[in-house]
A and B are shown apart, each in its own frame.
Chain A
Amino acid sequence: MHNVSVEIVKMAHRVFGGQGECVYEKADSRFFDEMVLPGGTVREPYSVVEEWIASQPKGGMSQKARDAEAIFRRLGITFAVYGSNEATERLIPFDIVPRVISAAEWRKLEKGIDQRVRAMNAFLHDIYHRQEIIRAGRVPERLIMHNEAFCHQMLDHDPAKNIYAHIIGVDLVRVSEDEFYVLEDNLRTPSGVSYMIEDREAMMRLVPDLFSQCRVAPVEDYPENLRRTLQAVAPPACDGEPCIVVLTPGIYNSAYFEHSFLADEMGVYLCQGSDLFVDDGFVYMRTTQAPRRVDVIYRRIDDDFLDPLTFRKDSALGVPGLFSAYRAGNVTIVNAPGTGIADDKAVYTYVPEIIEFYTGEKPLLNNVPTYNCANDEERAYVLDHLEELVVKEVHGSGGYGMLVGPASTKKQRAEFTRKIKERPNNYIVQPTLALSTCPIWTGRGVAPRHVDLRPFVLVGDEVRITPGGLTRVALKKNSLVVNSSQGGGTKDTWVLQD
């Protein structure tokens, strides 16, 4: 435990901490703080929030944090942590200080996100058809065809509207006023949307006074937009109103709350594998009456477990025959099977190429510079500079199996050296990013913590990007790991409207 030296940060136009409670712990000058600039001035997007914090009476912030927890617990927005002995439900910690993004900042991001998701869908269509990008030598054949995530059963299939990834989460980080990077793409079953919506709901109950002073772009139309997206990709066999279901692994899945939340908000059925069956090439639901045909399935089950007749035989979560019905064009699966090839960490390094190839434009949003360990020179550099770098497994997720150089021990670095030498293709390496920080309420005061951002994008009849998204925050001081499964929390994200 080290002592924190707290200084009252002088503000250009207002003293933060008028009531003696809310002093902003001094931000580390190595990182870009989204509320306070190095000189002490408050950044424009945060001016209202900063004043609000300063005007809170003693104990006010703590009370709001307690109220927030009560709201979430009552609503039952919990999740189960895999590998936890308790097997209980936990709340994802929520921080009451909103993260604010200006309208102008957001407009720039939106353009970059739009370009990226269109390119990714074009890429997916191409590699499951003529593979022009491979023929043109822009992406190595091995990287795609020998990739675990490539789903050869999808070759030559034409999904509705040629869309593969309908729901995408693009993880962004910020390192300075104008520099944003895409940390990774999530094109399989991205989650977190329900937290984004419920965070907003909680904030509207907790700080209505703040809302009345800021013009915050709404996020509550996400479920309606999702429904529209799903309706737009109904299969040709369907005439009239398509029957849409959310396919969940069940109540013991860590994200179950979100599955049921979205089904509820959209007014569609929430099904488990056992509720569905395939007959004569069509998918049906077991109802209290006659079986009902299903047209669109928003599945939150991984590819491997979707259909024991096509993928993993031991899966009890899926529906036997589902993939055949899909290939026959009788049902739409969202997101399509096989999208994982596009969010593969090794393919990530080629995304700038992908964007240029399909759009003819330079990428508007940059990738994090990434070292390829299969390349001798780059690998040598990596092994020499491990303490400064972040190593990720190509097929890992949730923040597990990675090495964060600056926070690592000698032993951990030795272990990863060995791993990289043994299987260089299994790892990608990036510099430790100086993630921006945002203020959180620590329980004793206001302090800066590292954050990232996951905007959610819907691709259907239109590309719809929800303003803001989920801000994930590393609650531990100095920590860069924001994943909820490892102690991260969330914040409501406010995109201001002009």
Chain B
Amino acid sequence: MLGRTASSLYWMSRYMERAENIARLVDVGYRVSLTPGLSESDRDQWKSTLQAAGVTNDFFAGHDTADLTAIRDYMLFDEDNPSSVLHCLAAARTNARAVRTAITTEMWEALNATWLNYSQIRPSRVSANDLPALLDEIKRSTAEFRGTMLNTILRDDGFSFCQLGVFNERADNTARILDVKYYVLLPRAELVGSNVDLRQWATILRAASAHRSYRHVYRDRYKASNIAEFLILRQEMPRSLAHCYYWINATLGDLEKHYGARYECHDLADSIYSELQRSDMDKVFRQGLHEFLGEFIARNNSLGQSVAQTYNFL
């Protein structure tokens, strides 16, 4: 397989995963903005969304206030924002187009149909009432794409590069969402453990579509340390860091078998995964959640770069 093909498969999958994650983030941000008392001020309402997407500075370079309209336009439709849904879908499609011989017809048609529909939406026609339905539609489309991929693509090296893109992105995103809690929603000392604090944690769970599954694992009410554990260490939670690294590790193992060679990226993934397996929340909180997540994000990034270098992404 051409190095460029591997790169396009990886990025096509990464961008689709990102599009879905942005839709989730906006969904959560919208809930926060609707729920009184959940944020300290108006400005904070959407701050967590921007922060989790890593676009705060860019946004405020061009906008004064983070209100629903500005966020809608910026996060969903702005062509120049590399983290907008529009940009992600366009980039996914461009990558897919470059490697049409490596993806199945169903995958192409799912992605192309999503693009055709979405690119025709006029942002100004999307009112606050329309927003939830639009966000659901985005999630449905990305799910359809992932479904066609899992159902139809040959399980060869191409599939491995797709999987690496998905889980590299997902791990990054979950870590950022969690980090936001401590970075933006930092409560005053007296609020820790209060209803406000817990409602904020609950919105984090919602962003990961985990608010119900949480209860299957932890019978009791929302507890900050459980929620963090759920999203970091619990392998059965499909958006957790542990789950992502289970798959990254397994996928790299497939590539090792396929190509008959093991590289630095294999060792790196292995080390990240085993550390997560050996860890517990006491250790994490001792290090400091924010520090832990910052380090994870950096290592996850390195893993991506190592893969790119190893397999000659161009």
Contacts and interface: CB of A to CB of B under 8 A. Distances in A.
Contact of B2 (A250, A251, A264, A285): A285
Interface in B12-36: none
Given A263-B101, A264-B101, A270-B101, A288 B311 contact: yes
Contacts of A274: 4, 314
Contact of B4 (A74, A75, A76, A286): A286
Question: At the interface, is chain A mostly helix, strand, loop or mixed?
Answer: mixed
A286 B6 CA distance: 11
Contacts of A260: 97, 100-101
A275 interface: yes
Interface string A240-251: 000000000011
A286 B98 contact: no
Contact of B109 (A74, A251, A275, A289): A74
Interface in A241-276: 250-251, 256, 260-261, 263-264, 269-272, 274-275
A75 B3 CA distance: 26
A215 B72 CA distance: 56
A138 interface: no
A288 B260 CA distance: 12
Given A287-B2, A288-B6, A76 B112 contact: yes
Interface in B288-314: 311-312, 314
B94 interface: yes
A289 B4 contact: no
A447 B257 CA distance: 61
Contacts of A74: 109, 112-113
B257 to A, nearest CB: 13
A286 B112 contact: no
Given A260-B100, A263-B101, A270-B101, A288 B108 contact: no
A289 B263 CA distance: 12
B116 interface: yes
A272 B4 CA distance: 9
Nearest to A269: B2
A73 interface: yes
B117 to A, nearest CB: 12
B116 A288 contact: no
A274 B101 CA distance: 18
A269 B311 CA distance: 17
Contacts of A75: 105, 109
B312 A288 contact: yes
A186 to B, nearest CB: 25
Contact of A288 (B97, B98, B259): B259
Nearest to A289: B259
Given A263-B101, A269-B2, A270-B101, A286 B108 contact: no
B149 to A, nearest CB: 17
Contacts of A270: 101
Interface residues of A, number: 22
Contact of A251 (B94, B312, B314): B94
B79 interface: no
Q: Size class of B's contact patch? A: 20 to 34
A5 B113 CA distance: 42
B7 to A, nearest CB: 9
Nearest to A74: B109
A142 to B, nearest CB: 45
Nearest to A288: B311
A173 B3 CA distance: 45
Contacts of A261: 100
A193 B1 CA distance: 26
Contacts of A73: 116
B92 to A, nearest CB: 13
Interface in A70-90: 73-76
With most chain B CB atoms within 10 A of its CB, the pick from A250, A256, A289 is: A289
A100 to B, nearest CB: 29
Nearest to B101: A264
B157 interface: yes
Interface in B96-137: 97-98, 100-101, 105, 108-109, 112-113, 116
A251 B101 contact: no
A286 B311 CA distance: 10
B94 A286 contact: no
Contacts of B105: 75
A5 B214 CA distance: 74
A288 B254 CA distance: 14
A263 B4 CA distance: 16
A286 B100 contact: no
A154 B274 CA distance: 61
A288 B157 contact: yes
Contacts of A263: 101
Contacts of B2: 269, 271, 275, 285-288
A275 B112 contact: no
Nearest to B261: A289
Contacts of B314: 274-275, 286
A271 B116 CA distance: 27
Contact of B312 (A76, A271, A286): A286
Contacts of B311: 288
Interface in B31-80: none
A251 B220 CA distance: 54
A285 B6 CA distance: 13
Given A76-B108, A251-B94, A287 B1 contact: yes
Contacts of B261: 289
A285 B113 CA distance: 33
A263 B2 CA distance: 14
Nearest to B255: A288
A74 B112 CA distance: 7
Nearest to B7: A288
Contact of B98 (A76, A251, A269, A285): A251
Nearest to A268: B101
Nearest to A292: B2
A291 to B, nearest CB: 9
B101 A288 contact: no
Nearest to B94: A251
A256 B311 CA distance: 25
Contacts of A275: 2-4, 314
Contacts of A286: 2-4, 312, 314
Contacts of B157: 288
A117 B263 CA distance: 52
Contacts of B94: 251
B140 to A, nearest CB: 18
16 contacts: A73-B116, A76-B108, A250-B98, A260-B97, A260-B101, A264-B100, A264-B101, A272-B4, A274-B4, A274-B314, A275-B3, A275-B4, A287-B1, A287-B3, A288-B2, A289-B261
Given A251-B98, A288-B6, 7 more contacts: A76-B100, A260-B100, A275-B4, A286-B2, A288-B1, A288-B3, A289-B261
Interface of B: 1-4, 6, 94, 97-98, 100-101, 105, 108-109, 112-113, 116, 157, 259, 261, 311-312, 314
The 5 A-B residue pairs with the shortest CB-CB distance in the complex, in nearest-first order? A264-B101, A288-B311, A260-B100, A288-B6, A286-B3
